Amino acid sequence: MMAIGVYKTGNSIIRTRQLLMYHDGVPRRVRVWLILIFGFLYQYAGSINLSSMNQMVGEISFLNEDVQMAGYCMLAGITVCFPVMYRLKFAMYTRQLFFVSGIGLMFCTAITMSIAIPWVVCGASFIAGFFKMLGMFGCTSNFRLCVTPSRNYAIFFPVIYFMVVGGTYLSGLTTAYLTYYGNWRLMNLFVILLLMIHVAIVYFMMKPDHRPGPYMSLKGIDLIGFILWCGFIISGMWIFCYGEHYEWWRGNQVWLGTLICCLFFAGAWCRSRFHERPYLSLHIFSYTAVWKIIFWLFVASILQSAPRLLQSIYVNSILGYDSLNVISLNYPILYGVLLGAILAFYTKVKWCWNTKQYLVLSFALLTSYIVAMYFLIDGNTNKEAFFIPLVAVGISEVMIGSISNVYLSQSVPFSYFFFGLSAIGYSRCGIGNAAGAALVQRLYNWAVVKNSMSASENIDGTVLPFDMPSWSETMAVVSRQSVMMTLKECYGYLILVGIVMILLIIMSTYKTTVTRLIPKMSAIRRWMSNPRVEDPADSVIRKKSD
């Protein structure tokens, strides 16, 4: 298979690379760096950060599930906004788009730091996720031709995921340090300050009347469908977030949540089925590639729960790390994120790997982390031993995210591409993400009860199998050993999941019939005026076999 090469660029692309939304006095190199910095800034914003969960739970009497649900709501806001991104872009001036997203994020961040009502915080987080994606889309749609003049998706998406994943982990580091030396609200204030600087730069350096194309009204957007799909994803995430707290379907709350989720899904499906221009077209689910991506992203969410959940239990309960030592484990992941972006570029563009080879490497790296942790579980493991496994986590996270979008872009027409991003987002950021974490949490809770009973069944107050000065210290040792046994058992099950997934990838086929390029903005404008055309002009160039 030949890689997508460097293609000739016309004057329209050269003009687009100049980022004409800036005033003429702004140097061209500064324009590019500013828009890249804005992209990183939007990864800091989002109204709430899970790194400050302990302080939030202790100070404002939130449940852990309340903070997690707020984080999930932010991801839901990111997921549901894709179908209307270009409509919003053409409805506003470029400067106006950044004003709306920046000021909206400031208000949402201020709400989450000042109101201690869970449903209000979740609602503000959902809106913040929408504004966050709107601002990020404003950045990526403007610098895409600066990143890849050849309009190659395989170059574009590794850069995007380097910004998204890297910015997310940097945000976690910043939150942890500000929380440790101050208060969790300091991060909110810091984000508001950064957003104020961002809005000021946009105000003084960008033209007030620049628009990438003719004005396009927002009239005709299916708002009812939007509300129904939002209700479905939020209620679905609520089930998996609060399921363990309410003892799953043994409690009435989860049954009620399931009923509401099913009603929202039925309403959204019927609305999309019979509405002339639905918010989320059901035709996207007729593509086999979409189901493949949804499946491997769901499996990835299960495997990625190991560094997020099991590792957190291990370093806190067994090794006794404080918050700074725990968050310092983000540094090797950041190195892995950088290496992952480079490796994603070389494997797909330079070395001409096909999708199957790429996926096998990605899941092999993620599984190798779990294998390494299985053998590292001990009461005296040094922190340095986690370095290489966590680098593998960072590499795999960028590569899996990149190949999902690249494979989607090559498998569906551009007219359904943003529907596809929203559809796979239900697995990557929405219900699939929450379900994967809930499955691993449930597995851990089941195994820890079983192992605790097994480890303590022959111990009583008169006969101790080892020399301990007190009964309480004896039970502390038993509890510690049962947790380590449980972690090993959970890692073992996840290793099996990873191996099975790699075998399924090897046995599957991932063929695409055409090579699609990132469309020019002028072609997108013409395409939006004629929605019956599946791909903008000059974006499909040749046949290929993957």
Using alpha carbons, select from 394, 395, 388 the residue that is nearest to residue 373: 388
Give the number of residues written for the chain.
546
Tokens of 364: 């092999």
* 182 pLDDT higher than 80: no
Q: Supply the pLDDT for residue 545.
A: 45
Nearest to 176 by CA among 37, 321, 76: 321
Question: How far is Cα 470 from Cα 359, in angstroms, rounded to an integer?
Answer: 53
What is the residue type of 380? N
Beta bridge partners of 516: 540
Check residue 399 and give its pLDDT. Answer: 92
Query: Is the predicted pLDDT of residue 60 greater than 90, yes or no?
Result: no
Report residue 544: phi and psi, to 5°: -155, 165
Q: Is residue 177 very low, low, confident or very high in pLDDT (cuts 50, 70, 90)?
A: confident
The answer to whether 153 and 410 are in contact (CB under 8 A) is yes
Contact between 314 and 377 under an 8 Å Cβ cutoff? The reply is yes
Cβ–Cβ < 8 Å for 522, 12: yes
Residues 6+ apart with CB under 8 A from 477: 466, 468
Per DSSP (E only), the strands in 207-302 are none
Helix (H) / strand (E) containing 531: none
* Amino acid 146: pLDDT: 79
**7-21, 95-109, 124-138, 464-478: which range is least confident on average?**
7-21
Token digits for 108? 């949402």
User: What is the pLDDT at residue 478?
Assistant: 76
Q: What is the DSSP string of 155-194?
A: HHHHHHHHHHHHHHHHHHHHHHHHHHHS-THHHHHHHHHH
User: Cβ(232)–Cβ(280) under 8 Å?
Assistant: no
The C-alpha atoms of residue 419 and residue 430 are separated, in whole angstroms, by: 15
Q: Determine the Cα angle at 437 with ends 434 and 438, to 5°.
A: 80
Neighbours of 372 (CB within 10 A): 16
Dihedrals phi, psi of 452, to nearest 5 degrees? -65, -45
State residue 263's pLDDT score.
94
pLDDT tens, position by position, 297-352: 999 999 988 888 888 888 888 888 888 888 888 899 999 999 999 999 998 888 88
Residue 220 confidence class, pLDDT cut points 50, 70, 90: confident
Backbone Cα Rg of the chain: 24
Say what the pLDDT of residue 14 is.
45
Phi/psi of residue 280, each to 5°? Answer: -125, 110
Predicted confidence at residue 532, as pLDDT, reads: 59
What's the mean pLDDT in 386-390? 92
Q: Find the Cα–Cα–Cα–Cα dihedral 135, 138, 144, 146, rounded to 10°.
A: -100
The strand pairing partners of 22, in sequence order, are 206
Mean pLDDT of all residues belonging to the chain = 83
Q: pLDDT tens-digit profile of 8-50?
A: 344 444 445 567 788 888 888 888 888 888 888 888 887 677 6
Pairwise CA distance, residues 15 & 10, whole Å: 9
